[in-house]
Structure 1
Amino acid sequence: MALTLYVDTARWRAHHKHVQEQFPGLVPVCKGNGYGFGHERLAEEATRLGSDVLAVGTTYEAARIKDWFGGDLLVLTPYRRGEEPVPLPDRVIRSVSSIDGVYGLVGARVVIEVMSSMKRHGISEQELPQLHAAIENVRLEGFAIHLPLDRTDGSDAVEEVIGWMDRLRAARLPLHTMFVSHLKAEDLARLQQQFPQTRFRARIGTRLWLGDHDSTEYRGAVLDVTRVSKGDRFGYRQQKAASDGFLVVVAGGTSHGVGLEAPKALHGVMPRAKGVARAGLATVNRNLSPFVWGGKQRWFAEPPHMQVSILFVPSDAPEPKVGEELVAHLRHTTTQFDRIVDR
């Protein structure tokens, strides 16, 4: 009995090919928990796509994945002096976002990140003159720019990249390759047309692996079902049942990521109102679970346990049976499955 990730493999892979056709020179990204699929699986899929470079989040991820992917590995987290050394092969490329970082990687293959409107990390325009001397002792694989997902000020992502291309060109720095993130296919085409001597390579994770929502589905198996009457006590905290119904024990708990949710940026009155309503319900121990039964998302009977969750299903709904599976609306990047099934 498990929390299972079901994959419509043919459909999933067809989506990968479609994205690859839209973004020539695509660099797949495999970081974190492997977007819910795991590092080994995504390394195999990147190999299937014929990718020559796979981007990972950290040096630790690079060390784990190096035996599963035979091409170059691009570490996205910028190098910092004093970081713990991790033994890595020469095919690993390090990202750098400071002049000091470039000087600290003598002989290494590097991609230099420039400061975008994200303002997360990157070389500033004022530092560009210092790069000439710094890059003499490294093997420069190109520059990179990481763009924001939303542009609420109405600015143009392509114009931001063009601005940096012009600055790099004015500083007489090599522009053979530019790695970009969060651009549309038509944006990439515009840039490639304007700068035909530069190879633009889109680093893509979410759109590639999770862009076709209907190709994957999580389901948790029902482990036990217990009928309860209104007022019956149950669970770790011995709460009372609010009405007649069923306590349904389903595979999937905190160790799987069930009950975990990343903060969201809310825009507009309605999303904010819903957020306030959910917070209010949580104060009286009413928390909606990700599990669906009888066409409705069901409430947690109590907070999820380590490996299972207990749901409350009211008596007017069909009684779940042990061995049946409940669809679970879970976020791939925070979920750890027990097993993956290709179909």
Structure 2
Amino acid sequence: MSLTLYVDAARWRKHQDEVRDTFPGLVPVMKGNGYGFTNPRLAEEATRMCVDTVAVGTTYEAALVKDHFDGKVLVLTPYLRGEEAVPLPDRTIRTVSSVQAARDLVGCRIVVACMTTMKRDGVTEEELVKLRTGMDDVRLEGFSLHLPLDHPDGYDPVVEVVGWVERLRAARLPVRTMYVSHLTAAELGVLRERYPDTEFRPRIGTDLWLGDHDALASRGTVLDVVRIARGERFGYRQRKAPSDGHLVVVSGGTAQGVGLEAPKTVRGVMPRAKGVARAGLATVNRSLSPFTWAGKQRWFAEPPHMQVSLLFLANDVAPPKPGDELEAALRHTTTHFDRIAIR
């Protein structure tokens, strides 16, 4: 049995089409685990949406996607001199973040990343004059701006985009197309009105594929239910059961991403207090699983195994039966589902 992602196909695709229609020039982003769906499947969805360009994270992902999408494939990770060459079609667009990288990719389609307040990669304002002299032997598809999600200290993403458009113009570089991220439809409208000769192309991943939460459901299958007595030992570490109850073996473990968590930014007193409480419970081997049964999120009996998780249910809870499915609150960008049921 399996850890399954259930998808309400009509609702999911309706949301995709709404995002496409709200954001003209949409470039769907598919990278990593494909937001839980896999990149090839998302490439086929992009074909259904009739977009002309998609974005992937790496050249290896581009090699996987190219057979599922016939349009242009933009590689978001900047080209690195000396990187392993991956055979890719001419319709591939490479991102460059330095003058030297632009000069290295003779004859290639490129997008030039500009250094934003993200401070991750990109050419600086001081490099723009040198960049102009290095464009003769490449096919410039446009420039890109990767903008931050949060807006502290009165930050305005439109102001940052305007600043870069003006800098590029002052350097006499052709600003025909700008690939941008994390802008609202209203913000894009302001930019299009101000620069009618520039095409602004929004790159969207999370909001496109995961924006309608009610269209998606994750569930793990109960594989076995074992009665256990208080003090009886179990599991890899042979812990003692805290009371009489049941061990529930459910599909989904570390191989699928269950129990794995990325660091989070925590703000405010209450979220910090909850974080301290969770950490305190973890020191006494108490960790909540993502699985829900009888209306409550249930505790791990011990850390998840590679492909299954072991949950503990006290005697006051009627246990599920093998074959039942438990709802699971999982992070899609770190979960590898055994099965995707689109229906």
Bucket of the pairwise TM-score, normalised by the shorter protein: over 0.9
Report what 1:4 is aligned to: 4
Letter of the aligned partner of 2:230 in structure 1?
K
Structure 1 residue 219: Cα displacement: 0.3
SS of residue matched to 2:281: helix
Structure 1 residue 319: Cα displacement: 1.4
- Write the distance in 2 (CA, Å) between the matches of 1:121 and 1:310: 43
Report what 1:156 is aligned to: 156
- Write the distance in 2 (CA, Å) between the matches of 1:207 and 1:19: 8
- Write the distance in 1 (CA, Å) between the matches of 2:95 and 2:337: 31
- Write the distance in 2 (CA, Å) between the matches of 1:132 and 1:38: 38
SS of residue matched to 1:320: coil
Report what 1:313 is aligned to: 313
Letter of the aligned partner of 2:109 in structure 1?
R
Show the 5 A alignment for 1:184-203.
Answer: 184-203=184-203
Letter of the aligned partner of 1:158 in structure 2?
V
Structure 1 residue 132: Cα displacement: 1.2
Letter of the aligned partner of 1:20 in structure 2?
R
Deviations 1:28-75 (A, max 9, x none): 001000110001110110000001101000000001111111111000
Structure 1 residue 136: Cα displacement: 1.0
- Write the distance in 1 (CA, Å) between the matches of 2:152 and 2:296: 34
Structure 1 residue 217: Cα displacement: 0.8
Instruction: Give aligned-pair identity as a percent.
Output: 66
Structure 1 residue 88: Cα displacement: 0.7
- Write the distance in 1 (CA, Å) between the matches of 2:98 and 2:2: 46
Report what 1:270 is aligned to: 270
Report what 2:126 is aligned to: 126
Show the 5 A alignment for 1:15-164.
Answer: 15-164=15-164
Unaligned stretches of 5+ residues in structure 1: none
Tell me, yes or no, if structure 1 residue 206 matches structure 2 residue 209.
Answer: no
- Write the distance in 1 (CA, Å) between the matches of 2:51 and 2:109: 18
Letter of the aligned partner of 1:255 in structure 2?
A
- Say which is worse superposed, 108-117 or 128-137, in terms of deviation: 128-137
- Write the distance in 2 (CA, Å) between the matches of 1:308 and 1:187: 45
Structure 1 residue 153: Cα displacement: 1.5
Report what 2:331 is aligned to: 331
- Write the distance in 1 (CA, Å) between the matches of 2:128 and 2:341: 50
Report what 2:175 is aligned to: 175
Letter of the aligned partner of 2:320 in structure 1?
P
TM, length-normalised to structure 2 = 0.99
SS of residue matched to 1:135: coil
- Write the distance in 1 (CA, Å) between the matches of 2:319 and 2:33: 34
Letter of the aligned partner of 2:227 in structure 1?
R
- Write the distance in 2 (CA, Å) between the matches of 1:90 and 1:336: 31
- Write the distance in 1 (CA, Å) between the matches of 2:338 and 2:87: 30
Show the 5 A alignment for 1:249-260.
Answer: 249-260=249-260
- Write the distance in 1 (CA, Å) between the matches of 2:319 and 2:77: 49
Structure 1 residue 320: Cα displacement: 0.8
Structure 1 residue 21: Cα displacement: 1.1
Tell me, yes or no, if structure 1 residue 285 matches structure 2 residue 285.
Answer: yes
Deviations 1:101-149 (A, max 9, x none): 1011011100000000000000101111111111111000000000000
Structure 1 residue 317: Cα displacement: 1.4
| RMSD (CA atoms) | 0.7
- Write the distance in 1 (CA, Å) between the matches of 2:151 and 2:83: 33
SS of residue matched to 1:270: helix
Structure 1 residue 154: Cα displacement: 1.5
Letter of the aligned partner of 2:97 in structure 1?
S
Deviations 1:284-305 (A, max 9, x none): 1111100000111100001111
Deviations 1:9-34 (A, max 9, x none): 10000100111111000000010001
- Write the distance in 2 (CA, Å) between the matches of 1:132 and 1:320: 66
- Write the distance in 2 (CA, Å) between the matches of 1:232 and 1:30: 47
Unaligned stretches of 5+ residues in structure 2: none
SS of residue matched to 1:169: helix
Letter of the aligned partner of 2:225 in structure 1?
V
Report what 1:234 is aligned to: 234
Letter of the aligned partner of 2:142 in structure 1?
G
SS of residue matched to 1:31: coil
TM, length-normalised to structure 1 = 0.99
- Write the distance in 2 (CA, Å) between the matches of 1:66 and 1:342: 22
- Write the distance in 2 (CA, Å) between the matches of 1:116 and 1:299: 43
- Write the distance in 1 (CA, Å) between the matches of 2:311 and 2:294: 13
- Write the distance in 1 (CA, Å) between the matches of 2:17 and 2:318: 41
Structure 1 residue 237: Cα displacement: 0.8
After the TM superposition, which parts of structure 1 deviate over 4 Å for at least 4 consecutive aligned residues? none
Letter of the aligned partner of 1:232 in structure 2?
E
- Write the distance in 1 (CA, Å) between the matches of 2:151 and 2:212: 24
- Write the distance in 2 (CA, Å) between the matches of 1:33 and 1:211: 17
